[in-house]
Structure 1
Amino acid sequence: MKKKVIFLGGPTASGKSALALALAEQARGVIINADSMQVYDALRIITARPSVEDEARVPHVLYGYRPASPACSAADWAADATRAIDEADLPIVTGGTGLYFRTLIDGISPIPDIPDAIRADIRSRMELEGAFALHRELDARDPIIAARLEPGDSQRIARALEVLTATGRPLSDWQREPNQGGLRNRTDLDLVCLALTPPRAELYERCDRRLALMMSEGGGLAEIKALMAQNLDPALPVMKALGVPEFIRHLSGNLSYEDALTFGQTATRQYAKRQLTWFRNQFSDWVSGDAQHLESFMAEIYSFIRF
C-alpha cells in the first residue's frame, strides 16, 4: 500500500496551522514545516510558528531547526523534508512557501554542489564590492538570470555567480535541464494537495490583526531586538521576515511605532496577495477553498488516509 502524504498550503494567516493540527490529531500525523521563515530558530513569534503547546500535542518537525545564518535554500529544505516524510507514518507538509512545495514535489535542476572555497570567495566579494557591482558582473555573464533579479538581491546574485564560477555554465542554462528528484515521481507515495485560499478581504484583516497582536502583546519587539543583537548580514532571509525590516527601523530610532506597524501590515498584505496568486496559478490542480470549506472535507480526507 502506498504511503499517504498530505500537502496543506496557502498564504500567511489563512488558517493552515490550525487545520494541520486538527488533521494530525485526528489521523495521528506528523506536521512537517514548509515555511521558509519558520525553519530558523531566531523568530518563533514574528514568523507565527506553532506554539510550544501545539508542538506538544502532535509531532512537529523542521520548525526552528536551523540558525539564522547561513540561509536555507529550497534544495536544502527539500532534502530535509524528504527524510522527514520517509520517517513519518502520515506526513502532513504545511506552509506557505510555494517554491518549497514545488521543489519537493517536482524536483530541482541538477546543479552540482558548490565548493566551499568558491562560495566563500563570492561571499567575501559581495561584502567588499556590494550587490550592485556583482549584479553588473552577472549581467555581463548571465544576462537572463540578471534580468530576473533585483540589483540589491545579494543572496540570489551570489548564488548565480557561484554556480557560474564552479561549473562554467550559467544558472539559466542549468535551469533548462530536466528536474531531478521530486516526490511526484515516486511510486511508493500517494499525494493529496490542499490549498487554503480565503477571501482576500478576510485574509487581509487577519494579517493586520495578527501583526498588531504580535507586536503589542506577543513579544515580537523583544524578539526583533534579540535578532538585531546578532549583527547578522541584512541580506539574510531572516532579516527580511514580515515585519522585521520595519520594526528594526523603529528600534533604531528611524521610524515611529505606528508607522512601523502600518508599513509592516502593508508588506504582509502584499505578500499574502502574492501567495494567493501563486497557489491559484501555480497549483491549480490542488483542491482549494477557505479553512471552513476544507474543514468540511475532514471526514473525506480521513477516509482517504485510512483507505
Structure 2
Amino acid sequence: MTQPRALIIAGPTASGKSALALELAERFGGTVINADAMQCYRELRVVTARPPPEDEARAPHALYGVLPAAEAGSVAWWREAALAEMARARLPILCGGTGMYLRALTQGLSVLPEIPPPAREEARARLAALGAERLHAQLPPEDAARLRPSDSQRIARALEVWLATGQSLAAWHRTAPRLPPADYDFRAILLTPPREQLHPAIIARWAIMRAEGALEEVGALLEQGLDPGLPAMRAHGVPELAAEWRGEASPAEADARAIAGTWTYTRRQATWFRHQELVAPAATHRINARIAGLAQFSERNAPEIFAFLQRAG
C-alpha cells in the first residue's frame, strides 16, 4: 500500500515557518500540526509567538495551546498526539523548530522508563538547590559528556533516570526498545535563512511580543505559583520577563537578556538542523529535501517552494 504523505516545515526560530505552513495548508487543504515544544502550552500564546486566531481561522491548526503550563510535555507525549492528529488530516503539515520532536516521528523513539514521583521530585529539588551547572557535574560521565551544562531540562531528566534505575540515560538509550518511524512518506522543507537576517528578525519579533502583552502574560503565569523547573517556566523570554515583573530587572535589561538568549538558542537550532537528517534515507521511502539559503518566507519564495513540491510529488 502507498504510504500517506506528510510535510515537514522546520528551521530555527524566526525563520518564517508558520507563515509558510499556513500558505501551504490553504493551498493544499492541509492541517498545520505544531512541532514546537513551547507553543504547546496554553498560557504562552504571546511569548512563544503562536499563530494568532485569525491565522488559525484560515486553515486547521492542531496541538497549539493544548497543555496547561502546570504539566510537563515530552517527546513521547508529543509523538503520540501528533500521530493522532496526522491520522485525521488530509495533509499533515508538521511545523516547528523542536528537532527532537520531528526526529521522533521520522526516525523512531526509544521507550524510556517510567519515573516514579519520588525520583522526579528529588531531581527537581537538586536542580533548584544546585543549579544546572553544578548538577551537571554530578551526572554519570557519559551523560555529562553529551549534555550541555546549561541544559537544565535534560540534566534533570538524566538525573531522574539515574535515581530511578541506577543506569545512565545514555545506557537506556542504547538498550531500550524503540518505537518505529511513523508510517508516512515525508517531504521536508528546511528554512535556513542567513544568520545576519535572523538576528534582526528576533529583535523585531520581540518588539511585537512586547506590544501584544508578553509581560502581562508572564505575570499571569507567575500568579499560578508553578514549579520554576517546569518547561513552560523556562520558555525563552519567560525568566527574563519574570525578573522584570518582580522588579529585579528593568525593561531594557529584560529585553537585552531575552534577545540574547533567543539568539543563542537560534544559532544552536540552525547548527542542529544543518547536521541532522530529519527524514529517513530513500531506501526506507523517506525523502530529505532541503532548500538551502531560503530567507524568511514571503510571496517571492512561493514559486521556488511550489516547484520543489511538484518535483517531489
TM bracket, shorter-chain basis: 0.7 to 0.9
Report the AA paired with residue 215 of structure 2. Answer: L
Letter in 2 for 1:124: E
Matching of residue 273 in structure 1 with residue 267 in structure 2 = yes
Q: 1:162 to 1:259 in 2, by over 3 A?
A: closer
The one-letter amino acid of 1:271's match is Y
Distance 1:102 1:127, change over 3 A: closer
Contact kept? 1:110, 1:177, Cα under 8 Å: no
Distance 2:42 2:91 in 1: 25
Matched, 1:249 2:243: yes
Q: Could you tell me how far apart the structure 2 residues matched to 1:267 and 1:281 are?
A: 22
In 1, Cα distance between equivalents of 2:178 and 2:207: 42
Gaps of 5+ in 1: none
Residue 172 of structure 1 aligns with an amino acid whose one-letter code is: A
- State the one-letter code of the partner of 1:297: E
Q: Which letter maps to 1:18?
A: A
Change in 2 beyond 3 A, CA 1:196/1:137: closer
Alignment of 1:61-76 (within 5 A): 61-76=62-77
Kept after mapping to 2: 8 A contact 1:139/1:147:
no
Is the CA contact 1:228–1:248 (under 8 Å) kept in the aligned structure 2?
Answer: yes
Indicate the residue corresponding to 2:189 in structure 1: 194
TM-score (norm 2): 0.85
* Unaligned 5+ runs, structure 2: 279-287
State whether structure 2 residue 141 is matched by structure 1 residue 143: yes
C-alpha distance after superposition, 1:129-151 (max 9, x if no partner)? 55539998986773311444466
Distance 1:139 1:202, change over 3 A: closer
TM-score w.r.t. structure 1 length?
0.87
State the 1:204 CA deviation.
0.8
The one-character-per-residue Cα deviations of 1:49-84 (angstroms, maximum 9, x if unpaired) are: 000111111110010001112211111111111121
- Give CA-to-partner distance per residue, 1:149-195, whole Å, 9 cap, x none: 466765434433433454453321111237723436x3xx2110111
Supply the distance in 2 between the matched residues of 1:137 and 1:247 (Cα, whole angstroms): 25
One-letter identity of the residue aligned with 2:9? L
Which residue does 1:44 correspond to in 2?
A: 45
| Partners of 2:32 and 2:94 within 8 A in 1 | yes
Structure 1 Cα separation of the partners of residues 132 and 305 of structure 2: 50
8 A Cα contact 2:132 2:150, kept in partner: no
How many pairs align?
Answer: 298
Taking a change above 3 Å as real, the CA distance of residues 154 and 277 of structure 1, as seen in their structure-2 partners, is: closer
> Once the 2 structures are TM-superposed, how far is the Cα of residue 255 of structure 1 from its aligned partner?
1.0
- Distance verdict in 2 for CA 1:137–1:270, change over 3 Å: closer
State the match for 2:258 in structure 1: 264
Which residue of 2 is the match for residue 55 of structure 1? 56
Q: Deviations over 1:100-149 (max 9, x none)?
A: 111121112232333xxx2x112332455555399989867733114444
Q: For the residues of structure 1 that align with 2:157 and 2:163, how far apart are their CA atoms?
A: 10
Tell me the SS of whatever aligns to 1:85.
helix
| 1:102 is the counterpart of 2:103 | yes
1:90 is displaced (CA, Å) by: 0.4
Distance 2:136 2:204 in 1: 41
Secondary structure (helix, strand or coil) at the match of 2:64 reads: coil
The 5 A counterparts of 1:1-307 are: 1-114=2-115, 118=116, 120-126=117-123, 128-130=125-127, 132=130, 142-149=140-147, 155-177=153-175, 180-183=178-181, 186=183, 189-215=184-210, 217-283=211-277, 285-288=288-291, 289-290=294-295, 291-292=297-298, 294-301=301-308, 303=310
Structure 2 Cα separation of the partners of residues 58 and 36 of structure 1: 21
Tell which deviates more after alignment, 255-264 or 35-44: 255-264
Instruction: Work out the CA distance in 1 between the residues paired with 2:134 and 2:195.
Output: 38
8 Å contact from structure 1 (residues 108, 180) kept in 2: yes
| Identical aligned residues as a percent | 42
